[in-house]
Amino acid sequence: MAAAIAESVRPNAAATDIAEESADIRKTGIDPNYWYPLARSGDVKPKNTCGVSFAGKPIVLARTEKNDVFALEDRCAHRQVPLHLGVVRGERLLCSYHCWAYNKSGACVNVPYLDSNESLPNGVRSYPCREAYGLIFVFPGQPEKAESTPLPDIPTYDNSAYKTRYLDRRIDCHYSFMHENLMDMNHQFLHRSLMGSIRARALDIREGDGWVEVDYTFHRASGKQPLGEKFMLGKRKKTPDFKSDDNADKDIMTIRTGYPYQTLQFWTAGSEEPALDLWNAYVPIDAEQRKNQTYGLMMIRKPGIPGAIHALWPFIAWFTDGIFGQDKDIVEAEQRAFDAQGEDQNNEVFPIIQKLRKLLIESGTPLPDQKGTDPNWNLNEYPMAHSR
């Protein structure tokens, strides 16, 4: 299989058909009809608010006195003042300007200076909101689809054999660059200062409805195993030089984009459980979707010595921060190149990335012309309360 994949990297008619997409991937918007993490749970304290955004739409997250989290359009229906500047009283969010009060469904339930017999004005849009895995998820698409759309499944998160590290960082690039960066392990030259000379080899490529994935193995051609990697994955023996077709003695990394999320699992040779299990979501924050907030859960299997993972954690954090920092710099450089050219001019030859790009385009939506306004925001659409 590996030989077949290596052969398929060479340009051919089928590869060209895949590469010549009908749409520009960097001008493809993410499908809003999924659950997206917009904050960590700790970012929204009881009786407090947090202003976030999804693809240019301002959203306020608020936590009530009963510890319920809800999400509303972050603009008061009165003077458009951001609601995240307001205060939470009981189960209501009060605008900081004229104290208009909104409930969890976005209905305006009180205007202090209106007589009791007067009808209250329209409210603001509410978003389905759930809390899981230490993250606050919002469904920014069509609300009626929220109930039938499952939250991402991350079973390792609750496994006591693993310790979880949260990833939360802004990266100034289109989300598609992030998917490509993680999926294409041929970029190990980028990390040579941290990892030495590493060669990756694709073993198998699979795809289905809404997903693509690839298996890799690796060979360290030169350099020593860094401490952070050793503490995270264990001491690695001399890796095979790819001559053997037997995968039993190889470390295996599986990277999967199951739209819109991405995962990476790393199995050391002969193991039945992954040493590393990574889940990522890349959330566009601006209307042009050229910036994203990357949220990740990195589950690392604990060593056999109780408590040892806590002593090793600073080395693991330093090592992974170094890798992520180099990736951040390079994908932001890719975005600047796209901005300078005004279009995607990539000459992609790697089959898994060709399939990935096709998946992202087919699953996404064309980005509209940006006019500085949100045509989907219409006060008349949102709830109205007729009594207090």
Residues 234 and 114 in one domain: no
User: Which amino acid type is present at position 115?
Assistant: D
Domain boundary at 107, 122, 150, which? 150
Does one domain contain both 76 and 172? Answer: no
* Sequence-distant (≥ 6) Cβ neighbours of residue 315 within 8 angstroms: 227, 228, 231
Residue 218 within any structural domain of the chain: yes
Residue 265's alpha-carbon distances to 123, 185, 218, 316, in angstroms, are 45, 13, 14, 16
CATH code where residue 191 lies:
3.90.380.10
Verify that 101 and 161 share a domain, yes or no.
Answer: no
Cβ atoms of residues 15 and 351 within 8 Å: yes
| Same domain? 324 vs 229 | yes
Same domain, 120 and 172: no
CA 225 to chain centre: 29
- Alpha carbon distance 43, 242 (integer Å): 46
Number of alpha carbons in the 13 Å side-chain half-sphere of residue 113: 3
Q: Are 140 and 156 contained in the same domain?
A: no
Q: Is residue 376 situated within a structural domain? A: no
Contact assessment for residue 345 and residue 25, using Cβ atoms and an 8 Å cutoff:
no
Give the pLDDT confidence of 54-84 residue by residue, as tens digits.
999 999 999 999 999 999 999 999 999 999 9
pLDDT per residue, tens digit, the chain (388 aa), is 444 444 434 444 344 444 444 589 999 999 999 999 999 999 999 999 999 999 999 999 999 999 999 999 999 999 999 999 999 999 999 999 999 999 999 999 998 887 777 777 789 999 999 999 999 999 999 999 999 999 999 999 999 999 999 999 999 999 999 999 999 999 988 898 888 888 889 999 999 999 999 999 988 776 677 666 766 777 666 555 555 555 557 889 999 999 999 999 999 887 889 999 999 999 999 999 999 999 999 999 998 888 889 999 999 899 899 999 999 999 999 999 999 999 898 889 999 999 999 999 999 999 976 444 444 444 444 454 443 4
Number of domains in the chain: 2
CATH code where residue 84 lies: 2.102.10.10
Q: For residue 144, what pLDDT is reported? A: 96
Domain termination residue (choose one: 121, 150, 179): 150
Full domain range(s) for residue 145 = 46-150
List own/partner pairs for 93-96 with CB under 8 A and 24 or more apart: 93/49, 93/60, 93/62
**Shared-domain flag, residues 225 and 304:** yes
The answer to whether position 61 is within a domain reads yes
**Shared-domain flag, residues 166 and 122:** no
| Domain end point (choices 97, 123, 150) | 150
| Cα distance between residue 260 and residue 258, in whole Å | 6
In a shared domain, residues 80 and 227: no
Q: Could you tell me the pTM of the whole model?
A: 0.87
> Would 287 be classed as within a structural domain?
yes
Cis peptide before 11 (omega within 30 of 0): no
Summarised one tens digit per residue, pLDDT across range 158-184 is 999 999 999 999 999 999 999 999 999
pLDDT at 255: 98
Same domain, 279 and 187: yes
Whether 101 is covered by a domain: the verdict is yes
Q: What is the pLDDT of residue 12?
A: 43
Phi, psi values for residue 161, rounded to 5°: -75, -5
Is 252 domain-assigned?
yes
Rounded Cα distance between 376 and 384, Å, is 18
Q: Are 215 and 254 in contact (CB under 8 A)?
A: yes
260 and 195 together in one domain: yes
Q: Is 259 helix (H, G, I), strand (E, B) or coil?
A: coil
**β-pair type (129-132, 28-29):** unpaired
Residue 225: per-residue pLDDT: 73
Residues 324 and 179 in one domain: yes
Q: How far apart are CA 303 and CA 315, in angstroms?
A: 14
- The pLDDT of residue 270: 77
Residue 134 belongs to a domain: yes
Asked if residue 41 belongs to a domain, the reply is no
